[in-house]
Structure formats: structure tokens, C-alpha cells
């Protein structure tokens, strides 16, 4: 038997219609009516019997049963299978159709989306082929043994090494860290090995060197001048005979003798 998925927990109450249709009922009759339509909605508007109605409304007296019969007669339809509510039945059919259309549209969209994927059943072979875990650990142990300063957690460092140093020569990485740590005067400020690896500083060691800035050579009538200082926006210059010159730092002007 196919499982039902069209159960709606919320029931829309049309207050104007409800008030107009129940204005002549007593409070007890209104309560019974609400009990019955709520029960009928939670059961996907399936028919229920007169005895079921008595049980739903907790009838313990003939007076209560008479009120239930009155409500059933006025608001519910009786057929061969039991009592149903015409308005609830129509609302349930409408919502079922509405959500089925949405579900079908979503399925079609997924089919179109994934239908264009050509490799959905083929798992590509990783390139390069992953290094076996046992080999990675042995490479890390070699790297760790070559360090001159072993700062930080070895366990954490092994994890960072496995993530960042696949395919790298452990001896080269160790030499790179040792060169770095040897340049730090106060060893307290040497980075933890795991941090250094996680930041992939073994790749940046050479690139992080400051660029070599060639000094600018100023001349005046083929005389080479020396820079002796700055005055405001001007660079102060001097030649071998002690003559003074100036060059504006920002404007494209020639060197001037002062």
C-alpha cells in the first residue's frame, strides 16, 4: 500500500463564512463542530461514522449525542462509507493538487539539471595519486628528526604536515624551517612548527625577501652628485667640489644648482 504524503497539519479557517454559518449555534454546538472538522482534516477528510463522532466529542449523555447529530445533519454529508465535509474535501483536493504540481516541477528541474552532467556515474582518478597514510607519517618523522628547534605540538604538526606537504621532500622542508629559525634572534618568538607549515611559509621563504632597490644616481652636466639629505619637497645634493644642488622629489624637473 502506497504511503500517504498529503497530510496537511494546518487548516485554513474562513472566518467570515464560519461565523455566518454557525451564528445560530450554541457554544457547545460550535465546539463540537470544530472538533469534528479538525478530526476530519487530520484524517485527510476520510469518512467517519456516527459512533466515531460521539467518541471524538467525548459524549457521555444523550443530550451531547443529540447535539452531535444536529451538527452532522447540518454540516456534513452522509454516504455509504460515513460522514464527510464537502468544503474540507474540496480544500484537501486543491492543496494536494497544488503541492503535487510543485513536487513534479522540482523533479523535472532536477532531471534537467543533472541530465547535463556527463560524469555523474564516473569517479575521476585523483591526480597525483594520494600518498598512503603510512608513508606520510614516515616522511613527517624524518622531517621532525631534522629540525633544530622543535616548537609546539608534534601531534598537531603531523596533521598540518599531511595536509600541506604532500609530494614535498621532508629534508627540504626541514632545511627551510631551520634557516628561518636561525634568523630569529630571540628564540621565544620562533613560530610553532605547525603554524609555520599551515601558513605554507616554506613556499614563501624566498619570495618574502624585500626587493632590492637600486639607489637613484643624480647628475648635473655629467657630474655625479651625492645625496646629503632632504629639505621639504627637495632632495639635497652635492658634488665633489662642495657645490650644492636640489631635485624636486615629485615633479619631473631637472637638477638645479643653488
Do 70 and 54 meet the contact criterion of CB atoms below 8 Å apart?
no
Residue 84 C-alpha cell reads as 464527510
The pLDDT score that the predictor gives to residue 126 is 59
The pLDDT score that the predictor gives to residue 127 is 58
Give strand pairing partners of 229. 236
pLDDT band at 145 (very low <50, low <70, confident <90, very high): very high
Per DSSP, the three-state class of 229 is: strand
The predicted model gives 68-82 an average pLDDT of 90
**Which DSSP string do the residues of 125-154 spell out, in sequence order?**
PPSSPPPPHHHHHHHHHHHHHT-S---S-H
* End-to-end Cα, the chain, rounded Å: 105
51, 53, 29, 38: which is closest to 8 by C-alpha?
A: 38
pLDDT in tens, 103-123: 888 888 777 777 655 555 556
The pLDDT score that the predictor gives to residue 1 is 41
Q: Output the average pLDDT for the chain.
A: 83
Per DSSP, the three-state class of 105 is: helix
pLDDT band at 152 (very low <50, low <70, confident <90, very high): very high
Percentage, residues of the chain above pLDDT 70 = 85
The pLDDT score that the predictor gives to residue 96 is 82
pLDDT band at 83 (very low <50, low <70, confident <90, very high): very high
Is this model's pTM higher than 0.75 or not?
A: no
6 or 83, which is more confident: 83
Cα separation values, 1 from 4, 93, 130, 135, 214, Å: 9, 20, 49, 55, 85
Residue 44 C-alpha cell reads as 485527510
Task: Give me the helices (H) in the chain, please.
Answer: 15-22, 27-42, 50-56, 62-75, 86-115, 133-145, 154-164, 170-183, 193-198, 201-204
Residue 236 C-alpha cell reads as 639635497
Per DSSP, the three-state class of 232 is: coil
Distance CA 256, CA 89 (A): 99
pLDDT in tens, 174-230: 998 998 888 888 888 899 999 999 988 888 755 445 555 677 888 988 889 999 988
Do 83 and 76 meet the contact criterion of CB atoms below 8 Å apart?
yes
Buried b (16+ CB within 10 A) or exposed e, 164-190: bbeebebeebbebbeebbeeeeeeeeb
Kind plus residue range of the DSSP H or E element containing 228 = strand 226-231
Amino acid at each position: 500500500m502506497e504511503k500517504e504524503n498529503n497530510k496537511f497539519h494546518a487548516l485554513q479557517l474562513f472566518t467570515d463564512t464560519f461565523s455566518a454559518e454557525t451564528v445560530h449555534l450554541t457554544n457547545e454546538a460550535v465546539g463540537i463542530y470544530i472538533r469534528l472538522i479538525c478530526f476530519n482534516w487530520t484524517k485527510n477528510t476520510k469518512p467517519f461514522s456516527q459512533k466515531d463522532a460521539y467518541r471524538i466529542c467525548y459524549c457521555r449523555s444523550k443530550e451531547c449525542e443529540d447535539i452531535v447529530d444536529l451538527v452532522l445533519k447540518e454540516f456534513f454529508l452522509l454516504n455509504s462509507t460515513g460522514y464527510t465535509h464537502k468544503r474540507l474535501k474540496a480544500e484537501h483536493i486543491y492543496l494536494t493538487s497544488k503541492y503535487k504540481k510543485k513536487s513534479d516541477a522540482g523533479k523535472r528541474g532536477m532531471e534537467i539539471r543533472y541530465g547535463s552532467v556527463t560524469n555523474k556515474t564516473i569517479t575521476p582518478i585523483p591526480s597525483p595519486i594520494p600518498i598512503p597514510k603510512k608513508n606520510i607519517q614516515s616522511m613527517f618523522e624524518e622531517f621532525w628528526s631534522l629540525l633544530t628547534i622543535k616548537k609546539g605540538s608534534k601531534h598537531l604538526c603531523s596533521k598540518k604536515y599531511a595536509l600541506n606537504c604532500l609530494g614535498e621532500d621532508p629534508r627540504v622542508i626541514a632545511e627551510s624551517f631551520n634557516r628561518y629559525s636561525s634568523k630569529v634572534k630571540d628564540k621565544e618568538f620562533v613560530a610553532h612548527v605547525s603554524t609555520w607549515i599551515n601558513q605554507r611559509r616554506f613556499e614563501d621563504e624566498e619570495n618574502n625577501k624585500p626587493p632590492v632597490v637600486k639607489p637613484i644616481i643624480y647628475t648635473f652636466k655629467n657630474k655625479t652628485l651625492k645625496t646629503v639629505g632632504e629639505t621639504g619637497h627637495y632632495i639635497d645634493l652635492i658634488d665633489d667640489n662642495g657645490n650644492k644642488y636640489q631635485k624636486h622629489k615629485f615633479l619631473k624637473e631637472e637638477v638645479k644648482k643653488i
